Amino acid sequence: MRYTPSTILVTGGAGFIGSNFVHRMLRADHTVRIVNLDLLTYAGTLDNLTDLPAPERHVFVHGDICDSSLVAQLFDEHRIDTVVHFAAQSHVVRSIADPGEFVRTNVNGTFTLLEAARSAWLGAKGVKPPEVARTRRFHHISTDEVFGTLTLEDPPFAETTPYAPNSPYSASKAASDHPVRAYFHTYGMPVVTTNCSNNYGPRQHAEKFIPTVIRNCLEGKCVPVYGDGQNIRDWLYVDDHCRAIHRVLTHGELGQTYNIGGRNEWRNNDVVSLICGLLDERLPGQAPHERLVEFVTDRAGHDRRYAIDTKKITGTLDWGPAEDLESGIRKTIDWQLGLTQ
């Protein structure tokens, strides 16, 4: 049965993935309204929300997902029927320095949203009216980092892989996933969860790996690579991720978890080489960009390999990535150079 959202509360919708989802939803669904709640920390900016396809169907609210009064007010005032919950502290290095803020935002913030949805949709007694499963949806965005790390020989993470987080960031995301599941089984909350691999693409925060490599190459600065550069990630182009979220939101089975990956396992060294090679083509006068690479001390708790098994979402929801890493990086470079919006 297809679910059709009417008014979506998007949390963290001024951040990287959230803003890309807002742009996509306003283009793809000509009736949906979006209420965008974002605290505008280091990871969120209103610049990500310029040139929206239908700004009259978008309302921005500057606020904190941990503010229970504000969140309850938004549910009531805007008659929220759908939550797509992106808002999270997500920078691993920052989580090592300040784990408390990650627990506050990722765990307490998710709980605040669940409680607001429970009150608004299920009533004071938490009893599920029959129509809730057809007319409401809470989509929780998580990460593959909750599963820990893989060796080269291990199979990719599946939805049934046990949780084994290795950083304060991934631990806080793992902790936030559990109440979402519990609210489905205990209260009948109409939830779906997705765990994604490493995203990249337009509007990504400058601190992240791929934007750092591109920016430093363009500026002629050192390109830092942690450790020996052999860490492996499965790279997912952000618009492919947003298409998957839309698909799970509208066609996913309640209470289920879906892994979303790009089918692009690359070593960090090879990602850097790819970016440098593509920039050599674009800017031959600055070539070779790979001369800028410098290996730096590895960060604490740096997982060796992530990989996602996408059989479930591919087989049941007919989704697959449209971009491989080279095509996605080309689009990302074009955006960084100001050639696309």
pLDDT digits (tens, 9 = 90+) for 97-114: 788 888 889 999 999 999
- Starting at the earlier edge strand, list the strands of the sheet with 198-200: 198-200, 232-237, 265-267
Chain-centre distance for alpha carbon 25: 15
Residue 303 has pLDDT above 90, yes or no: no
Looking at the domain 7-200+236-262, which fold is it? Rossmann fold (3.40.50)
Q: What proportion of the chain, given as a percentage, has pLDDT over 70? A: 96
pLDDT value of position 241: 98
- The pTM score is 0.94
Any idea how long the chain is? 341
The span from the CA of 139 to the CA of 46, in Å, is 23
Residue 127 has pLDDT above 60, yes or no: no
- Joined together, the tokens standing for residue 318 give 């007919």
Provide the sign of the torsion angle of the four alpha carbons 154, 160, 166, 169, taken in this order.
positive
Residue 316 has pLDDT above 70, yes or no: yes
Q: 93 versus 60: which is more confidently predicted? A: 60
Residue 300 has pLDDT above 80, yes or no: no
C-alpha angle 295-300-303 in degrees, rounded to nearest 5: 85
C-beta separation of 323 from 248 below 8 A: no
The span from the CA of 230 to the CA of 72, in Å, is 46
Half-sphere exposure of 122 (CA within 13 A, CB side): 21
Residue 281 has pLDDT above 70, yes or no: yes
pLDDT value of position 329: 97
**Which residues are registered as beta bridge partners of 194?**
141, 258
**Spans of all domains in the chain:** 7-200+236-262
Residue 269 has pLDDT above 70, yes or no: yes
What backbone phi and psi angles, to 5 degrees, belong to 291?
-65, -15
The span from the CA of 23 to the CA of 61, in Å, is 16
CA-to-CA separations, 64 to 71, 139, 140, 292, 302, in angstroms, rounded:
8, 18, 17, 40, 29
Q: Which residues belong to the active site?
A: 144-145, 169
Q: Which residues contact 118 (CB under 8 A, 6 or more apart)?
A: 126, 183, 187, 189
C-beta separation of 21 from 46 below 8 A: no
Confidence of residue 128 (pLDDT cuts 50, 70, 90): low
220: alpha, beta or left? (left if phi > 0; alpha if psi -120 to 50): left
pLDDT value of position 126: 58
pLDDT digits (tens, 9 = 90+) for 131-179: 777 899 999 999 999 999 999 999 999 999 999 999 889 999 999 999 9
